[in-house]
Each structure stands twice: as C-alpha cells, then as structure tokens.
Amino acid sequence: MPDSPIHLKTPLKTEDLTPLFIGDRVLLSGTIYTGRDAAHHRLVELINGGEPLPLDLEGQVIYYVGPTPPKPGQALGAAGPTSSYRMDAYTPALLEKGLKGMIGKGARNQSVKEGIKKYKAVYFAAIGGAGALISRSIQSAEVIAYPDLGTEAIRKLDVKEFPLIVANDVHGGDLYESGMKEYKR
Amino acid sequence: MREVHIEQVTRAVRDLCIRANTELGDDVIAAFHKALEVEESPNGRDILERLIENARIAKDEKIPMCQDTGMAVVYLEAGQEVRFVGGSLEEAIHEGVRQGYAEGYLRKSLCDPITRKNTGDNTPGMIHYRIVPGDACRLTVAPKGGGGENMSQVVMLSPSEGIQGVKRFVVERVNESGGKPCPPIIVGVGIGGTLEKAALLAKQALLRPVGSRNEDLQIEALEKEWLNAVNDLGIGPQGLGGRTTALAVHIGTMPCHIASIPVAVNIQCHSSRHKDIEL
C-alpha cells in the first residue's frame, strides 16, 4: 500500500511543495480556481496586453475542469479533470504570475515542466473520469469571471480533501515518464 | 408494416442518454475488479478502487460518472418493415438528445467547428442508421468523450505492411496517447472497408461487452496478443505507470480494396458508456 496521504491547504507556498515528490498522494483543501481552454486563452491575452487579471494568481491552484450543471442541492455536478496538454501553451505565462499549482490529467510538455521547476510549482494528477467521486470534495462553487463561457467560466471552488497524486514536482520529477518506465516490459 | 411513433424514439433517446451517463455497465466494473488482481502499481490500484467507487456514487446519486458527458452517438437499427410516423425521425432523435442532456443535468459539449460557439443543447446527435430485415427496432446511445476521441486515428496502410504493420500502428497509437485518454482504455480497432467504414467498425467494436470473446477465433487470438502488447507499454491507470493500460482490445473487420488496408483506432476511456433498448 502507498504511504498515507499528505494533507495540504491552499494558498500554496514553496515550503509546502519542496517536501513533495512524484507519486505522493495528496488530499488538498481550501480555495482553488477552475479554468480550461477558453479561460486560459483570455487570461494570457490580458497578460500579453499588460492588463490586470480577474484573479490574483499568487500561490493559487488552477483546476482544469468543465463541470456538468449541478442538480438542485448540489454545489457542482460531476467535476473530473480534463486533459492538461491543451493548457500547455498558456501555462508558463501563468506560472510567471505566481501560479503555484495545477490539477489536471495527462503529461505536460517540456516548457511547462521547466516552468514548474523554475517557479517551484507543482502539477497534480486528479483521477480522470472520477467526476462523481470528486464532486463530493467540492463544498461550494461560485463563478468569478467569464460567465459567458458556461462550463468553461472561471469558478472559485472550496474543496475538502480533494484526492490527488503528485505528477510533476519542484525537483524536476515527472511521474508520467518514470511511472511508465518502471512498468514497461 | 409496423408503425413506431417518433415520440417513442425521442423518449427512448432521452432515457438512454441519462442512463448511459450515470450507470456504468457491469462488464466494465467486472473488468476493473479483474484488473485489481494483476495491477502492481500502488497508485494504479488506488485509482482502480476509486473508479469502482465513482461508478457506485454515480449510479446511487444519479449523477454523471464523468463531467465529459460526451457527444451522443446514436445507433438506430431499424427493421425494413417498420414505418416511423408522427414527423421527422432524425429530428426526433436530436430532440431526445436535447431533452436528455437538459433534464439529466448533463454537460453540453458540442460547438461549431469554426466559430467554436456552443450549440447549447448538445445536439446534433451523431447518428448511424442501419436497415435490417424484419420489424424490430433497436436504439443504442453511446456518449463519447473528447479525450479518447482526440487520440483516435485512421490510416491507410499498404498491403505489404500486413497484419504486423496493423499491430504496430495500433500499439504505437496507444503508446503516443499515454495518459491522455483516461486509461484503462478500451481499444476499438476497425480493419478493412473504406476510410469511413474502418472508423465505424472501430467505433462499433467498442459496443461489445468488455471481456466478451470474438466469434472469429483468428481475430480473438489477435485481440489477446495486442492486449498483452498494449499492457506491456507500462502506461497504467491514468498514465501514471502500471500493468493496466487497456481493459480490452476489440477488433472489427470487413473486406477491403486489394490496394489497401484501412485501419482505424478508436480509443474509449474507462467510462465506456452505452445503453440500448428495443422499441
């Protein structure tokens, strides 16, 4: 069995992330923000234009998710991660603005991996397709920017013990590479 | 002629969209349990256990198992002695998709390919018709998410590449996909036909129950061999390393032109969703 999970609370600081290594299981609590393709496009356009962002990214975590609509009484519907590679083109600019954590699924490209090391950030893998299970970790949800984007709007989520696995750590580790190598025949 | 009212079609499509998205098939859940017996990676085992729990929560609470509730792929197998009455059959199917995705609180994931503007109601359904003898009528709805579809591909191989060339293409496609299509996956393979027939064969192969045997012994042997090859890649659950990259390889074949081997790989994530009903 893996070691017992590490509890983390947002906002994240470098000293929270240095002890993390790839493969570690984490339970994350606190405020996180959602954002996927369209929201990333807008954020990076603002950065390139030198304009202020609708949220302060310092120490924050972005979750790549496009949830289903909530049923009455739910904070949010099913809310599993989407594939992170589609955000790779935008991520280095956000890391430069202080983003400390990302949650998604699937491997990242070289420039994101270098950014994670340079800015001492972390990339967590959530369980893709476990939308119903993950929705249980979400206590509340509020759209804070780009409501016109519907499921792709930026939402502020309060999460409790969101189950994650460290996929890329501040030390340059990449679980997608080393995990596959370990089990390749 | 037997008459089927289109309102019955709309109702059935609506219900199938909701049921497919909330109730994972017993065949897939059994395959998760079987994978747990061989999975060596601790994180891989943890993921498989959570996927079993996810399916249980989705079914009990009637919420989608995955937030990507997909494009509604609809198969209608209609007996040639059936007459659809009451209006447009095709519109009735789209209306069923519209109602299912609204009333089931499912995500609307379709947009214009150029402007990227969301269609707002998850229409159109992706419909495949087949006319068969008799007066029976079978409807299948198979919601297909973006992750696995994005990793899928069709290629026209030269006959000189042979079955080894087909295997290389299939294994390499899975290898390149890595963790992106949400492994453990089901690999649908279509071999033969034309470009579009190969793609449809691959997609329809995904409807076969996971763990079921191919009727053709020669093809069954290929399915076993390729499943082992894919699982030897080490990609594992969610691409984080492990023994369980795929739960099954399903192959569909048909004759093709003497000058080509069309091959399609349609990758299905572990949310292998499909429900059907006899009308």
Q: Is B14 in contact with B93 (CB distance < 8 Å)? A: no
**Residue B211 pLDDT class (50, 70, 90 cuts):** confident
3-state secondary structure A15-48: HHHCCCCCCCEEEEEEEEEECCHHHHHHHHHHHH
Give A1's contacts (C-beta < 8 A, 6+ positions apart).
B42
Helix (H) or strand (E) holding B13: helix B6-22
- The answer to whether the CB atoms of B180 and A107 lie below 8 A apart is yes
Residue B240: strand, helix, or coil: coil
On whether any CB of chain B is under 8 Å from the CB of A4, the answer is: no
Instruction: Tell me, yes or no, if A83 comes closer than 8 A to chain B by beta carbon.
Output: yes
> Is residue B130 within 8 Å of residue B160, measured between CB atoms?
no
Residue that is written with structure tokens 């609506």 in the block? B14
Question: Can you give the pLDDT at residue B203?
Answer: 98
pLDDT in tens, B164-188: 999 999 999 999 999 999 999 999 9
Task: Give the span between the Cα atoms of B246 and B255, in whole angstroms.
Answer: 27
- What domains appear along chain A, each with residue ranges and CATH number? 10-17+28-183 (3.20.130.10)
Tell me the CA distances in angstroms from B165 to B156, B168, B190, one per residue in order.
11, 5, 14
Predicted ipTM of the assembly: 0.92
What's the CA gap between B113 and B109, in Å, rounded? 12
- Give the global pTM: 0.94
User: In this predicted model, what pLDDT tens digit does every residue of B91-119 receive, in sequence order?
Assistant: 999 999 999 999 999 999 999 999 988 99
Residue A167 carries which side chain, given as an amino acid letter? A
pLDDT at A2: 52
- pLDDT tens-digit readout, A80-119: 999 999 999 999 999 999 999 999 999 999 999 999 999 9
Tell me the per-residue pLDDT of B25-43, one tens digit each, with 9 for 90 and over: 999 999 999 999 999 999 9
Domains and CATH numbers, chain B: 2-21+65-144 (3.30.360), 147-272 (no CATH)
- Closest CA in chain B for residue A151: B107
Q: Which two tokens stand for residue B148?
A: 């696995």
Distance from CA of A58 to the nearest CA of B (A): 28
Chain A: closest CA distance from residue B209 (Å): 19
A19–chain B nearest CA distance, Å: 19
- Taking the C-alpha atoms of residue B76 and residue A62, their distance in angstroms, rounded to an integer, is 41
Nearest to B43 among A2, A83, A128 (CB): A2
Closest chain A CA to residue B102 = A69
Among A80, A136, A181, the residue with its CB nearest the CB of B67 is: A80
DSSP result, B84-110: EESS-HHHHHHHHHHHHHHHTT-----
Residue ranges of alpha helices (H) inside chain A are 14-17, 37-48, 91-96, 110-118, 131-135, 175-183
Query: In chain A, what residues touch B105 (CB-CB under 8 Å)?
Result: 68-71, 77
